Structure 1
């Protein structure tokens, strides 16, 4: 059996590693390896860390990740509203994790510069994936791991109905040794109590921090047209947006904004869609954001992608019939995904209409 994985992000690489470790012929195909598209960094809970440790069990490569021991929620004046210990959470830079996962697969299994175009059929059965560069990969099983805007999903299910997340998020990364050291091991979040506006900060090294600003675009926003103008104009407006919305936030926030290079920051328009009725068609199956997208408030996207890979690989290896394997995979993952979508929307609504500062947007505290 040969498995062709379309997408070499975190979900696709994890899937490829699991199958390769069990001597399955696998081909991972990616448009451009080691890109930072999709986020500077993210939090990962115990379930995702367990998967990563399994993938690295027979490797001497050091694992990335920075432990996060507590979540601190503050108001815009800096006063602590609540502090919650976190058990087995880590912060990962996306590029570091991708580089690490790439080391667990031999080069012969990785194919670069391959943008998926369409499937090739023979006698109504999918037999190959065609790429825009003219190359073609034949296989027995095809796994769509090509992200939220999945072309594979579109060809299987048609258009899905994306729901606006109603919240936007600016993401950045900044170096400031003094502040990073002072915040080591802590996820600090400042949140307005009477409107949808917050600022989060997580150290990734001794000198570097990832930050984000979640905001209701009704408060202020960048017009859609400005993104089509020059890059300099867009990032200047992005800086103005952050400074304006966060002008009353404490000194730590102002320090981050002062030292941030807005040329490397971007706005993420959050969105999701309802649970699909199934994740497969014939010999094609979806994992990660290609299969499901939830809002970011649950901090679960990467962990869910890695659990998809673990679950699907187990089903493929333990079921002789592909249809049964794909059905078992869906049954194992569907309710958890549905719960995350629902939870993300509930936390979004709470963020937009806050009645208190007690909501903690971390999956470990509200959903297992």
Structure 2
């Protein structure tokens, strides 16, 4: 059996590693060559960390990740509203995790510079994936792991109805040894009491921190005409947006904004879509953000992508036929995904209603 994975991000790489470990012929196809620069960071729960340990069990790879043992919610004046001990959470830089996964997958399994274009059919059966550079990869199974804007999903299921997230998020990363040192092991979030506005800080190393600002765009936003992330005007407008919205937040927040390079920051327009009725059609199956997207309040996206890889590979290896394997994969993952989508929307609505000061914005450990 030859498996063609379309997308070499976290989900696709995890799937490729699992299949390679079980001697399945697999090709992971990625649109660009990995570069260990850029990108930001995210939180990962025990379930995702377990997958990473399984993938690296027979290697000498140094696993990334920085322990996060405490969540602290403070108001916009700095007063502590809630403090919670976190069990088995870590913060990962996206580039560090991708670098680790790239090491765990043999180079001959990964093919770069391949932007998926379309499927090739023979007698109504998909037999190959064609790429925009003219290359073709034949296979028996095709796995769409090409992200939220999945071309694979679009060609198989048609357009999905994205629901606007109603909340935008600015993300950045800074080097600041003093501030990072004072916040080691803590995810600190400042929440304005009467508006949909918050600011989060998570150390990724002894000297580095990732930060984010979640905001209701009805409060303020960058004018629609300024859309290019590469323009100087965009970066200056973004800086002014953050400074204006966060002007009354504590000194730690002002320090971050002072040292942040806004040329490396961006606005994320959050969105999601309802659970699909199936994750597969014939010999094509979806995983990760191609299969499901939840709002960022759940901190579940990366963990879910890695659990998809574990579950899908297990089903493909242990069920007697592909239809049975794909159906089992959906049954095992659908309820959890639906709960995360609903949880994200609940937390989003609470955030916008400015009543979220008692809510811990992390995935519930009862959701598996």
TM-score (norm 1): 0.98
Aligned to 1:5: 5
Aligned to 1:165: 165
Question: Per-residue displacement from partner, 1:13-39 (whole Å, max 9, x unpaired)?
Answer: 000000000000000000113258995
- 2:253 maps to 1:253: yes
Aligned to 1:26: 26
- In structure 2, how many angstroms separate the alpha carbons of the residues matched to 1:91 and 1:246? 24
Q: 1:366 to 1:81 in 2, by over 3 A?
A: farther
Larger deviation, residues 7-16 vs 348-357: 348-357
Question: Per-residue displacement from partner, 1:298-334 (whole Å, max 9, x unpaired)?
Answer: 0000000000000000000001210000000000000
Larger deviation, residues 356-365 vs 94-103: 356-365
- In structure 1, how many angstroms separate the alpha carbons of the residues matched to 2:351 and 2:175? 28
Question: Per-residue displacement from partner, 1:113-162 (whole Å, max 9, x unpaired)?
Answer: 00000000001100000000000000000000000000000000100000
Cα deviation for residue 364 of structure 1 reads: 3.4
Question: Per-residue displacement from partner, 1:325-358 (whole Å, max 9, x unpaired)?
Answer: 0000000000000000000000000000023511
Aligned to 1:51: 51
Give SS of 1:225's match. Answer: coil
Q: 1:154 to 1:175 in 2, by over 3 A?
A: same
Moved segments of 4+, more than 3 Å: 35-39, 364-368
- 2:296 maps to 1:296: yes
Aligned to 1:136: 136
Cα deviation for residue 223 of structure 1 reads: 1.6
1:1-368 to structure 2, matched below 5 A, reads 1-34=1-34, 39-228=39-228, 231-355=231-355, 357-364=357-364, 367-368=367-368
Give SS of 1:357's match. Answer: helix
- In structure 2, how many angstroms separate the alpha carbons of the residues matched to 1:230 and 1:140? 41
- In structure 2, how many angstroms separate the alpha carbons of the residues matched to 1:230 and 1:309? 34
Contiguous gaps of at least 5 residues in structure 2: none
TM-score (norm 2): 0.98
- How many positions carry a matched residue from both structures? 368
Larger deviation, residues 229-238 vs 253-262: 229-238
Cα deviation for residue 193 of structure 1 reads: 1.1
- In structure 2, how many angstroms separate the alpha carbons of the residues matched to 1:64 and 1:53? 11
- In structure 2, how many angstroms separate the alpha carbons of the residues matched to 1:348 and 1:234? 26
